[in-house]
């Protein structure tokens, strides 16, 4: 174990954060997690340690609690931060916008203040393709304008702006340890660890397609509503770029490594798309699911969901060029791993 490489993982007990902890531990990093467990269970971190046979350090801390967070930095020799902590439900963010701005934006401000005080200035941030808003182009490149269309998306866009401003301030007032920041814009993460021990465990009725499909297939939910059959897409249903969560977190390891290379020697803040680079429709997801699992997915067509775009997917060329990262797993892998997690854990972590 290399004690010089200690990564603080905010939101490490969550869906993506727990998979990141596995990859970090397997890559030889020391892992310190802070999570308030608002949308996760400590059980996930127990299983991370089981899978890797390595320990991690956990603090049940809210990132908005400056004193407690500073205490973690004082106790642990943190060298860089992966920042996953945040709320992510688009619908809830429309009903309770201040909850989202307070958690995501204010929480990140506190984290950045504490990092600056501790002189820890390497950060990988969980951004989202949602920051592209509505765009006439369906394949997104990082240079497209930002324009989120809901409060959740705006929290991500605001945080990106703050991080770019922090980095720009280094150029005005050069610092010996400039900020080194990777903004990772995720497309649609699905799937689970191949062990079937950790995966996505949504509270209540899922909002997202994949957990909904699995709960229909296992009989927990009666029927999937396919939102829209009249989009200008090949089969009329919505098209997205689905990415296996393990591929996604491998992109984070590549990013944290890149921050330590010559490219970031003078600091900087750079955005990268993490996606497969191809679109897949709702009906293709259902078809692949039925083929892999042998289960029927009951569905019926319903009206379009407000705020949904017909089609978008990533251009992931920059991540390949600069981080040496690209997806390795197929849609079949994503479905098979999701299904193994669901069958082995019908009640999630409960």
- Give the binding site for ligand NAD (CB under 6 A): 11, 13-17, 34-40, 62-64, 84-88, 103, 107, 126, 128, 186, 189
Q: Does 130 bind ligand WQD (CB under 6 A)?
A: yes
The number of residues making up the chain comes to: 350
- Which residues lie across from 280 on neighbouring strands? 240
- Burial class of residue 318 in the structure, from the number of CB atoms within 10 Å of its CB (0-12 exposed, 13-18 middle, 19+ buried): middle
Given 15, 100, 140, 152, the catalytic residue: 152
Phi, psi of 243, rounded to the nearest 5 degrees = -130, 135
Q: Which residues in 305-334 contact ligand WQD (CB under 6 A)?
A: 305, 308
Decide which of ligand NAD, ligand WQD, none touches 177; Cβ closer than 5 to 8 Å per partner kind.
Answer: none
Q: Which residues in 243-282 contact ligand WQD (CB under 6 A)?
A: 282
Give me 343's structure tokens.
Answer: 């069958």
| Residue span binding ligand WQD (CB under 6 A) among the ranges 43-51, 70-78, 219-227, 248-256 | 219-227
Binding string, residues 70-99; x marks residues near ligand WQD by CB under 6 A? ------------------x-x---------
How does DSSP assign 109-163, residue by residue? Answer: HHHHHHHHHTT--EEEEEEEGGGG-S-S-SEE-TTSPP---SHHHHHHHHHHHHH
Q: Does 223 bind ligand WQD (CB under 6 A)?
A: no
With contact defined as beta carbons under 8 Å apart, do 156 and 130 qualify?
yes
Nearer to ligand WQD, 88 or 193 (CB): 88
Min dist CB 251 to ligand WQD, Å, is 15
Binding string, residues 27-66; x marks residues near ligand WQD by CB under 6 A? ----------------------------------------
Decide which of ligand WQD, ligand NAD, none touches 86; Cβ closer than 5 to 8 Å per partner kind.
Answer: ligand NAD
Q: Which of the 8 DSSP states describes residue 311?
A: B
d(CA 334, CA 149): 28
Query: CA-based angle 279:300:289, to the nearest 5?
Result: 50
Residue 311's contacts (CB-CB under 8 Å, 6 or more residues apart) are: 138, 231, 232, 233, 238, 239, 240, 279
Min dist CB 175 to ligand NAD, Å, is 27
Binding string, residues 279-298; x marks residues near ligand WQD by CB under 6 A? ---x----------------
Min dist CB 90 to ligand WQD, Å, is 5
Min dist CB 249 to ligand NAD, Å, is 10
- Burial class of residue 294 in the structure, from the number of CB atoms within 10 Å of its CB (0-12 exposed, 13-18 middle, 19+ buried): exposed
Place of tokens 């007032």: 173
Min dist CB 88 to ligand NAD, Å, is 4
Concerning whether 15 is annotated as a catalytic residue, the answer is no
Place of tokens 């998306």: 153
Rg (CA), the chain: 20
Of 58, 73, 212, 313, the residue at the interface with ligand WQD (CB under 6 A) is 212
Decide which of ligand NAD, ligand WQD, none touches 227; Cβ closer than 5 to 8 Å per partner kind.
Answer: ligand WQD
List active site positions.
152
**Which residues of the chain form contacts with ligand WQD (CB under 6 A)?**
88, 90, 128, 130, 188, 207-209, 212, 224-227, 238, 240, 282, 305, 308
């Amino acid at each position: 174990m290399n004690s010089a490489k200690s990564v603080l993982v905010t939101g490490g007990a969550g869906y993506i954060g727990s998979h990141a902890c596995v990859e970090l531990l397997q890559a030889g990093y020391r892992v310190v997690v802070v999570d308030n467990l608002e949308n996760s269970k400590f059980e996930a971190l127990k299983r991370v340690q089981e899978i890797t046979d390595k320990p991690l350090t956990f603090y049940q801390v809210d990132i908005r609690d400056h004193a407690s967070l500073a205490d973690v930095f004082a106790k642990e020799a943190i060298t860089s931060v992966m920042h996953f902590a945040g709320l992510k439900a688009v619908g809830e963010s429309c009903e309770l916008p201040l909850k989202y701005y307070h958690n995501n934006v204010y929480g990140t401000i506190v984290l950045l203040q504490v990092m600056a005080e501790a002189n820890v200035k390497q950060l990988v941030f969980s951004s989202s393709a949602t920051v592209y808003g509505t765009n006439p182009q369906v394949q997104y490149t990082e240079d497209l304008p930002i324009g989120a269309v809901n409060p959740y998306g705006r929290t991500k866009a605001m945080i990106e702006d703050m991080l770019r401003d922090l980095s720009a301030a280094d150029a005005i007032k050069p610092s010996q340890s400039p900020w080194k920041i990777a903004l990772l814009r995720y497309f649609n993460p699905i799937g689970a660890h191949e062990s079937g021990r950790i995966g996505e465990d949504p509270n209540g009725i899922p909002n997202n397609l994949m957990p909904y499909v699995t709960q229909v297939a296992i009989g927990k939910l009666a029927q999937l509503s396919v939102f829209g059959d009249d989009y200008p897409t090949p089969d009329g249903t919505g098209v997205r770029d689905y990415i296996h969560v393990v591929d996604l977190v491998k992109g984070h390891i590549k990013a944290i490594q890149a921050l330590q290379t010559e490219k970031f020697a003078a600091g900087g803040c750079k955005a990268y798309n993490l996606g497969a680079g191809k679109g897949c429709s709702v009906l293709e997801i259902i078809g692949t699911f039925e083929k892999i699992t042998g289960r029927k997915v009951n569905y019926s067509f319903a009206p379009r969901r407000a705020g949904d775009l017909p089609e978008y997917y990533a251009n992931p060329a920059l991540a390949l060029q600069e981080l040496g990262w690209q997806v390795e797993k197929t849609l079949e892998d994503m479905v098979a791993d999701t299904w193994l997690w669901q069958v082995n854990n019908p009640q999630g972590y409960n």
